Amino acid sequence: MKHLHSLFLFISLLASSALNAQCENVTLENLTNPGPYEIATLTEADGIRNGPDYAGATIYYPTNGTGPYASIAMVPGFTALPSSIEEWGPFYASHGIVTIIIGTNSLVDLPEARANALLDALETIKQENTRSASPLEGALNTNQLAVSGMSMGGGGAQRAAVLDNSISAVVALCPYLNSPALNHDVPLLIFSGEEDLVAPSSEHANVHYNSTPNTTDKLLFEVVNGNHFVANSPSGSEGVIGQVALSWLKLQLEEKECYCPLLTNNLLLNPPAASNVLQNFECEALGINPIAQAIGYSPNPTKNTVTLNITEKVLFELFSPLGQSLLKNELTPANNQIDVSAFPTGIYYLRIKNKTMKLIKVD
């Protein structure tokens, strides 16, 4: 038993060291536009594949980073050209994510056709990894592939996840998709605009979120006063769009778990840029919430009160799923309970010592 304890401690130290190395420079300030890497582009004139399910492509890639790189394929919306979303290419690539932005065979392609176009674009990415004349030969992680799109392209991105469950992440930009069938387990980020008149959140983004299984990691970020085009660029909503999208891809696509608390503790906690935030992923499930383990809180879920295992005086604040502050006070070892009986059933966030923990209230 002593040897097993020593082995467990050794493994834990290794994991901690790897996590700390992964966490270096993971701050809001480093989610810049552009990022740290220089970029270059490839087109069909440079020898990249001409996919039959899309019309024309540009690949944006970092030139001074270290692979293997994750990749994302992007498609524009109904009647729109690739130029309408092209700012995402340099942004992602400058942060180490190879990006292919495609056109559609018809400007009026519907979401299902755009889903197939995205899957075809991912095939082009895979072939770049083996094309001898490509600067990306051997530099791509073909197990880390994501899809994204705007409007009907966003609807197509969600459908692509249904058609190919090997995809690692989806970013849907103000998506348009009627009667969604979204039974998939691919982590999904949805941006929507509060004032979107083309694809109103109540008819599209919110429906898409609710139609995706609750067992799937998912996040909906509705931009306050945002219109249908608020997420066409990473600079949308003063750069918050890019910060959230990049953090999501770093977490779900590249599997860098340190971006989870950056999302939950910073970007999604009472964000002034959002009129609505829905999410069902939690950092605790990834094993990266040491404050929760150090303090301990139970029961969770709870009907009435939650008890915290604390040895010193602490301040706490309870937030609603929308990031609204509901309750704040001081706890001591002798007075260590929080009463949530007056609040409706749902998910809440408990913030202690600059860390955030998920709390579930049930009837």
Per the CB < 8 A criterion, the answer to whether 42 and 48 are in contact is yes
Q: Is 204 a catalytic residue?
A: no
Cα gap 91→11, rounded to integer Å? 36
Residue listed under structure tokens 């495609």:
102
Q: Is 196 a catalytic residue?
A: yes
What would the 3-class secondary structure string for the chain be?
A: CHHHHHHHHHHHHHHHHHHHHHHCCCCHHHCCCCCCCCEEEECHHHCCCCCCCCCCEEEEEECCCCCCEEEEEEECCCCCCHHHHCCHHHHHHHCCEEEEEECCCCCCCCHHHHHHHHHHHHHHHHHHCCCCCCCCCCCEEEEEEEEEEECHHHHHHHHHHHHCCCCCEEEEECCCCCCCCCCCCCCEEEEEECCCCCCCCCCCHHHHHHHCCCCCCEEEEEECCCCCCCCCCCCCCCCHHHHHHHHHHHHHCCCCCCHHHHHHHHHCCCCCCEEEEEECCCHHHHCCCHHHHHHCEECCCECCEEEECCCCCEEEEEECCCCCEEEEEEECCCCCEEECCCCCCEEEEEEECCEEEEEEECC
- Of the candidates 196, 201, 208, 217, the residue annotated as catalytic is 196
- Of the candidates 94, 134, 148, 151, the residue annotated as catalytic is 151
- Of the candidates 228, 233, 237, 247, the residue annotated as catalytic is 228
Active site residues: 151, 196, 228
